[in-house]
């Protein structure tokens, strides 16, 4: 199938990430926490489409909502009942959400949020952090600021494949700082006083390890942004509806001005959203900042979002503790397997998402610590797990869903033990 795909699909895949681990997997079908490849192998799945399938694959509520809406029409370019319903639900769930706008994918939501910040403040510069991924559009893809003396050295943390084609202009107003270092953010605001429109971050850094913000980091960003008139943007495309019903902002107790959502919001259908304070979102509401998209609020995807969010909201007291507990059971079991087999392992994250690092370090605070892990051995562990029926994100990230059962967690830990023994 890969050979066939390469004859007509450039590189044989439509996302470089899917080729990252050698031959890409071809899936036949998926259900709950399991998927089956075209060779008939059954895998317990901790990739979940890179996070979206928070209710598991082919969740009955999503299948029903989508099927019913498909029969009523797929694309209207007109208003329908789901848009306000989903927006109301997000406003009820997410502390910082007073008004919402929808797009299709995460990269667009980030683009919209940063444009909104620039439009509203009239300032050009955006601060982002090393190793934080905010989509593949030019203005945030860059991780190098040509003029960056603050961090001591220019860095290339995202290792974006094939970044040829980006112009230096794309990066001119992007400042990239190390994650978890508030002092450098303070210095940066002094140096570029009055020029910074927004600070954007993954509130839990998931794209290069599930790296927790150090105590005071998010709070400090909040204070600095308020004092300096810049917007604080949380990119909640992974953390939204995953860490808690109200995402990272509820989980960590820090409210941004704007947040972006995607992935889990519609249980696998493509919906993304920008949500924020009324005064900020007003610039979109009154047309000062343009916002468009043919597939925005596509009714099939929005019907799925309504179904997913109603379950996560109404059953929040059961689903979040259960997802975190399943993840924590895996985390503990993985640590124990590392000890049993003499493999130095560090496991980090809240549970519903977590990262397995192979490293002697006892703490991972930023992208550089992640980059210093034994990456070849982590790639080998990924393969050994795949061979034993466990599918994880190749760089060592694991996503949980409400569909993962205690029996599947136990079965996974059996595979983990065998994989560590082989390692
Ligand atoms: N932000 C974060 C934090 C992400 O993890 C991703 C996707 N991995 C994006 C933005 C981009 O989203 P999309 O791939 O849907 O464009």
Query: Domain of 78: which CATH number?
Result: 3.40.640.10
Query: Which DSSP string corresponds to 153-199?
Result: S---TT--TT-BTB-HHHHTTEEEE-TT-HHHHHHHHHHTTTTEEEE
> What's the pLDDT tens digit per position in 48-99?
999 999 999 999 999 999 999 999 999 999 999 999 999 999 999 999 999 9
Q: Which of 153-162, 340-349, 381-390 has the weakest average pLDDT?
A: 153-162
Angle ∠(57,62,64) on CA atoms, nearest 5: 125
Residue 348's pLDDT is what? 97
Looking at the CA of residue 107, tell me the nearest atom of ligand 1.
Answer: 16
Instruction: Tell me which of 281, 314, 347 is where a domain ends.
Output: 314
Cβ 106 under 6 angstroms from ligand 1? yes
Cβ 107 under 6 angstroms from ligand 1? yes
Nearest CA to ligand 1 atom 12: 106
Q: What is the ipTM of this complex?
A: 0.99
Distance CA 269, CA 301 (A): 5
Looking at the CA of residue 272, tell me the nearest atom of ligand 1.
Answer: 15
Q: Which of 40-54, 130-144, 252-266, 286-300 has the weakest average pLDDT?
A: 130-144
Instruction: Tell me which of 257, 289, 314 is where a domain ends.
Output: 314
Q: Residue 51 forms beta bridges with which residues?
A: none
Whether pLDDT at 148 is above 50:
no
Task: Decide if 68 is inside a domain.
Answer: no
Distance CA 71, CA 78 (A): 17
Q: Please state the length of the chain.
A: 423
Task: Decide if 64 is inside a domain.
Answer: no
What radius of gyration, in Å, describes the C-alpha atoms of the chain? 21
317 burial class (0-12, 13-18, 19+ CB within 10 angstroms)? exposed
Q: Pick 86 or 379 by higher pLDDT.
A: 86
Asked if 263 is an active-site residue, the reply is yes
Q: Is the separation of the CB atoms in 272 and 237 below 8 Å? A: yes
Whether residue 375 is found in the same domain as residue 390: yes
Q: Give the structural domain span for 379.
A: 2-58+316-422
Asked if 357 is an active-site residue, the reply is no
Q: Calculate mean pLDDT across residues 372-393.
A: 94
Distance (angstroms) between ligand 1 centre and the Cα of 285 equals 24
Do the bridges between strand 27-31 and strand 34-37 make them parallel or antiparallel, or are there none, so unpaired? antiparallel
Nearest CA to ligand 1 atom 7: 135
**Strand boundaries in 76-121, DSSP class E:** 99-103
Distance (angstroms) between ligand 1 centre and the Cα of 331 equals 24
**Strand boundaries in 288-400, DSSP class E:** 345-348, 353-358, 390-391, 397-399
The structural domain count of the chain equals 2
Task: Decide if 210 is inside a domain.
Answer: yes
Q: Give residue 143's pLDDT band: very low, low, confident or very high (50, 70, 90).
A: low
- Arithmetic mean of pLDDT over the chain: 92
Cβ 237 under 6 angstroms from ligand 1? yes
- Candidate from 263, 264, 265, 367 with most ligand 1 atoms within 8 A of CB, to mutate: 263
The single residue of 45, 235, 257, 369 carrying the catalytic annotation is 235
Task: Decide if 32 is inside a domain.
Answer: yes
Residue 151's pLDDT is what? 34
Whether residue 19 is found in the same domain as residue 83: no
The H or E element that residue 378 is part of is helix 375-387
Whether pLDDT at 260 is above 70:
yes
Q: CB-based contacts of 142: which residues, under 8 Å, 6+ apart? A: 163, 166, 170, 171, 174, 176
Cβ 247 under 6 angstroms from ligand 1? no
Residue 142's pLDDT is what? 65
Q: Which of 127-136, 206-215, 291-300 has the weakest average pLDDT?
A: 127-136
Terminal-to-terminal C-alpha distance of the chain? 30
Looking at the CA of residue 108, tell me the nearest atom of ligand 1.
Answer: 16
The single residue of 173, 179, 263, 357 carrying the catalytic annotation is 263
Whether residue 43 is found in the same domain as residue 102: no
Cβ 238 under 6 angstroms from ligand 1? yes
Asked if 125 is an active-site residue, the reply is no
Residue 413's pLDDT is what? 98
């Amino acid at each position: 199938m890969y050979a066939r795909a390469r004859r007509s699909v450039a590189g044989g895949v439509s996302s470089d990430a899917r080729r990252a681990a050698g031959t890409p997997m071809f899936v036949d079908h998926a259900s709950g926490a399991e998927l089956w490849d075209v060779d008939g192998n059954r895998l317990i799945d901790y990739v979940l489409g890179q996070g979206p399938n928070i209710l598991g694959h082919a969740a009955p509520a999503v299948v029903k909502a989508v099927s019913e809406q498909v029969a009523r029409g797929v694309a209207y370019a007109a208003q329908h009942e789901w848009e306000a319903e989903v927006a109301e639900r997000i406003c009820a769930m997410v502390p910082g959400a007073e008004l919402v706008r929808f797009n299709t994918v995460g990269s667009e939501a980030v683009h919209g949020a940063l444009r909104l910040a620039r439009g509203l403040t009239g300032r050009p510069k955006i601060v982002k952090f090393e190793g934080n991924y905010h989509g593949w559009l030019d203005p945030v893809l860059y991780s190098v600021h040509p003029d960056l003396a603050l961090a001591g050295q220019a860095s290339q943390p995202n290792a974006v494949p094939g970044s040829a084609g980006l112009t230096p202009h794309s990066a001119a107003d992007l400042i990239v700082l190390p994650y978890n270092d508030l002092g450098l953010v303070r210095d940066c605001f002094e140096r570029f006083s009055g020029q910074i429109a927004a600070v954007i971050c993954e509130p839990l850094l998931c794209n290069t390890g599930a790296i927790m913000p150090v105590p005071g980091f998010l709070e400090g960003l909040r204070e600095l942004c308020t004092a300096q008139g810049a917007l604080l943007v949380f990119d909640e495309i992974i953390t939204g509806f995953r860490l808690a019903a109200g995402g990272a902002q509820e989980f960590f107790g820090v409210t941004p001005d704007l947040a972006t959502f995607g992935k889990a919001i519609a249980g696998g259908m493509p919906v993304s959203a920008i949500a924020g304070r009324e005064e900020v979102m007003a610039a979109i509401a009154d047309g000062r900042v343009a916002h468009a998209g043919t597939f925005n609020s596509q009714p099939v995807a929005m019907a799925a979002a309504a179904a997913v969010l109603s379950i996560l909201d109404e059953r929040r007291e059961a689903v979040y503790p259960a997802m975190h507990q399943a993840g924590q059971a895996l985390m503990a079991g993985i640590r124990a397997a590392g000890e049993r087999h003499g493999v130095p392992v560090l496991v980090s994250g809240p549970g519903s998402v977590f990262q397995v690092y192979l490293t002697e370090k006892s703490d991972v605070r930023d992208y550089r610590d992640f980059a210093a892990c034994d990456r070849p051995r982590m790639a080998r562990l990924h393969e050994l797990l795949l061979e034993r029926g466990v599918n994880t994100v190749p760089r060592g990230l694991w996503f949980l869903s409400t569909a993962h059962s205690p029996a599947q967690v136990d079965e996974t830990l059996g595979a983990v033990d065998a994989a560590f023994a082989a390692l």
